[in-house]
Amino acid sequence: MKKSLAVLSLAALAAAAALAQPAAVPATPAPLNWTAEQDHQNMLDQLGIKFLRPGRDGSHPGSSNYANYDESKANPFPNLPDPLILKNGARVTTPEMWWRQRRPEIVEDFDRDIYGRVPAVTPKVTWEVTSTARETNGSIPVIVKHLIGRVDNSLCTNIAVNIDLTLGTPADIHQPVPVVMQFSWVSSGGGRLFGGARPNGPAPAPAWQQQVLSKGWGYAVLPPPTVQADNGAGLTRGIIGLCNRGQPRKPDDWGALRAWAWGASRALDYFEMDPAVDATRVAIEGHSRYGKAALVTLAYDRRFAIAYVSSSGEGGAKLHRRDWGEIVENLTGTGEYHWMAGNFIQYGGPLNWGDLPVDAHELIALCAPRPVFIGAGSTNGDAWADPKGMFMAAAAAGPVYELLGKKGLGTPHFPPIETGLLDGDVAYRQHSGGHTDGPNWPVFLDFAARYFVPGSPSPAPLQTERNLPPK
């Protein structure tokens, strides 16, 4: 009997000791190393999609699937969702209805089906200034800081995300200045980053940074691939892969456009701590695919004051329902699907463009009442981006701006080339160059200067309210 009690006592002590030990931390799994084709197929399997329509061919005019550039065939789905009609059919008649009811409905549609949801909690970013130097840009003395934003990777230690950021501010101005931040195609060291074709056409003269500095403002450069790779194979790495612990996305998870926008928001977090920057007057600029990201950034982060959205095309300011140049199906194939939520792929297969719950005019409307400048090049070089489709979206966002006491484009008529529509808070201009943001830089900066007057109210909400709907 005593022996039995002793055995039981030893067993009880062993059990208690086991309970007292900290739980074993599961080993971090290695990130999947899939190709874009494998990751794309996985998403098709999750969605139960067996067939996708092909995207347009933009390079071979003799192709049976060559891009459409015939305006008479460009609007197969002419009826756009009304940004001022609630899902229950009621009309939005007051700013409060917009902020409290309609805007959240539109955001939910974009989150679920277009750009994907950012996780409720994302890893902390710790900014480190790696170098500071006094330089001269043109004839203007500048303080240039190079920074690295180190993302906490405790979720998956096999994935490292280090965000590259450069900030230049006028050396002889001793007060906070507005900053224009560009999603850049090159790293701070000048090296070319992977991410598709770089914008063609001549560079602006002087360079855009010099134009910004001549206004007495600062500039910043953020290369998006340092946040998230610009390919489907990278979706199990970068910030998206880190949040998913190296595993594949779910259909409503965020794509690269929202990830790049998240990176811009983390840069703005830093600007709010830098005494050289007026963080209530930060502009975001991007061209082509980065123009898409710039528009997404302004729509989702109300702290940004203004955006220059250049040649953003499909997935950006162009109407999804337009058949001109690049179309929805180009963004649902293996080359570009990673920009979007997995659910977006459905609209290139079992569903069509007319089934989309929202369109680009409502993305622009999410920016209201803050100003936005939509730019494009001539159709001889920028037709793929559909300059008219972007104008149509900008015009259709006007009623929301007007509801909020601002001014839209003011006309439904497509203007002649080189004719800017600049009097409202939504601006549009098509320059005579090709696929480049260069010719519109001075026009945008003059447009932005209306909102960056020293001592005037910022277009962005007050800092304590910037992430909340107005009361």
pLDDT tens digit sequence for 36-55: 999 999 999 999 999 999 99
In this model, does residue 69 exceed pLDDT 90? yes
Q: Residue 454's pLDDT band (boundaries 50, 70, 90)?
A: confident
- Predicted confidence at residue 189, as pLDDT, reads 52
Bridge-partner residues for 427, per DSSP?
373
How far, in Å, CA of 446 to CA of 241, rounded? Answer: 40
Q: How confident is the model at residue 458 (pLDDT cuts 50, 70, 90)?
A: confident
Task: Report whether 327 contacts 314 (CB < 8 A).
Answer: yes
Confidence class for position 28, pLDDT limits 50, 70, 90? confident
pLDDT (mean) for 8-35: 60
pLDDT of the residue at 456: 84
165: left (phi over 0), alpha (psi -120 to 50) or beta: beta
Residue 264 to residue 285: CA distance in whole angstroms = 10
Q: How far is CA 212 from CA 133, 177, 317, 362, in A?
A: 19, 11, 24, 29
Distances (CA, A) of 40 to 184, 233, 234, 434: 27, 9, 12, 32
Structural domains in the chain?
Answer: 73-92+94-465 (3.40.50.1820)
For residue 158, the SS3 value is: coil
Q: Which helix (H) or strand (E) holds 238?
A: helix 238-243
Contacts of residue 35, Cβ cutoff 8 Å, sequence gap at least 6:
232, 233
CA atoms of 386 and 189, how far apart (whole Å): 33
Report how far apart the first and last C-alpha atoms of the chain are (Å, whole number): 75
Q: What is the mean pLDDT of residues 320-336?
A: 98
Length of the chain equals 471
Look at residue 464 and tell me whether its pLDDT is greater than 90. no
Short-list 264, 248, 339, CA closest to 299: 264
Cα 454 to Cα 425: distance, rounded to the nearest angstrom = 19
Distance separating alpha carbons of residues 28 and 246, to the nearest angstrom: 9
- What is the band of 187 on the pLDDT scale with cuts at 50, 70, 90? low
More confident residue, 101 or 192: 101
Strands 372-376 and 162-170: unpaired
Please say if the pLDDT value at position 10 is more than 50: no
In this prediction, residue 135 has a pLDDT band, given cuts at 50, 70 and 90, of very high
- Cα separation, 137 vs 34, in Å, equals 43
Q: Which percentage of the chain shows pLDDT scores above 90?
A: 85
Greater model confidence, 237 or 12: 237
Q: What are phi and psi of 318, to 5 degrees?
A: -75, 140
Q: What is the mean pLDDT of the chain?
A: 91
Q: Do 115 and 341 touch, CB atoms closer than 8 A?
A: yes
From the list 178, 89, 104, 76, the residue with the least C-alpha distance to 365 is 104
- Please tell me whether residue 410 adopts helix, strand or coil conformation: coil
pLDDT at position 27 is 62
- Ramachandran region, residue 250 (left: φ > 0; alpha: ψ -120 to 50; beta: rest): beta
pLDDT digits (tens, 9 = 90+) for 73-132: 999 999 999 999 999 999 999 999 999 999 999 999 999 999 999 999 999 999 999 999
Bridging pattern class, strands 372-376 and 277-287: unpaired
H/E stretch holding 11 reads: helix 2-20
CA atoms within 13 A on the CB side of 309: 34
Average pLDDT over residues 215-237: 98
| Residue 56 tokens, joined | 């347009």
The tens digit of pLDDT for each residue in 228-263 reads 999 999 999 999 999 999 999 999 999 999 999 999
Exposure on the CB side of residue 88, measured as CA atoms within 13 A: 5
